[in-house]
Structure 1
Amino acid sequence: MSQGPGAQPGPPSVYHERQRLELCAIHALNNVLQQQRFNQEAADEICKRLAPDSLLNPHRSLLGTGNYDVNVIMAALQGLGLATVWWDRRRPLSQLALPQVLGLILNLPSPVSLGQLSLPLRRRHWVALRQVGGVYYNLDSKLRAPKALGDEDGLRAFLAKCLAQGLCQVLLVVTREVEEKGSWLRAD
């Protein structure tokens, strides 16, 4: 599969873009879709559509370096005929019907650093998780290469660890049909 700008080779046929500026939302979208579908210009255009009369757009960084919010991610996926579902962290992960889920996008706290100096600040960071060839991968754009999580149990263990650390939000990427039927959720 072709690799876009900033993309690095990983395990065979796993698309993975590396972090550039504050574009983790764009990288998460492309990584979950397993191809370059979005760039900064497309995300900025979505921001303009979401807040057409806003002098300072609330959906991105004031500096124009990215830092896009969830509304941009949701609108981008909706434009492709996909849907998003917030995972209620109070539900047991065993209720997540993974075969019905195209991928997951996590929003995690991320430390801020200047070179080697770690600052006592936390920013938010978007991370994609996706199954490719029967294996779930962590496609975090801050990683040098995709990190294999294994099967469904491996993914659930990773999600449980992230959720246990607090302040983690999980967004399921599904087809509209799966969203409408609610088939991303299975009864336990």
Structure 2
Amino acid sequence: MRDISEYQTGQALTEWSGDTASLLAEMKRRAGVRTDQELARFMGAAQSTVSNWRKRDAIPEAAILQFEKAASDPDGNGFSRSLAARTIALRLPELWFARFQTKGALPGRYVPYAAISYNLNAIVAEIARQMESLETTHNLSTHELAMLLIEDEKFLNGVLDRVSSTSMSDMLTLEIDAERRARRT
């Protein structure tokens, strides 16, 4: 068993720097449980779900959101809109990468990740602002809304469109031009 000092206690689980095993151990520690079955029960999931995360060596972002909700407040009142917005923003680089591919460019993932990273605060603020409005309009908790929005590509594409800056557009244009030049030679 690891010493408690090895865990990054104050670190948000969505930004966990350890591997899947250490993330699961931290989730158990924060939930006050010892086994995968107890963790699954805490989250309202099947035990096989946690086993699958171990096998795949990955925990879906939506599951981390679900855990944060359960750990912060069983009623969902303490769930942070900022945390939810940041977690949703983590989906954007891959979505942007897919846009590159549909425009005919085949860059590495560095460009979309760098562009999103450069503009992360503005993106998170935009998502949080929209969430606040949608929570009221649709009478949903932050957690319920986050679970829907993290999978909503129309919403995510809209965020990308609204927060795109010259630097992001320039990166995309430069990457597409470089790819086209490389194909010609």
Same fold (TM over 0.5): no
Identify, as 1 or 2, the structure richer in helix: 2
RCO comparison, higher one (Cα < 8 Å, 6+): 1
Structure number with bigger Rg = 2
TM-score norm. by structure 1 comes to 0.31
Structure 1 or 2: more strand by fraction? 1
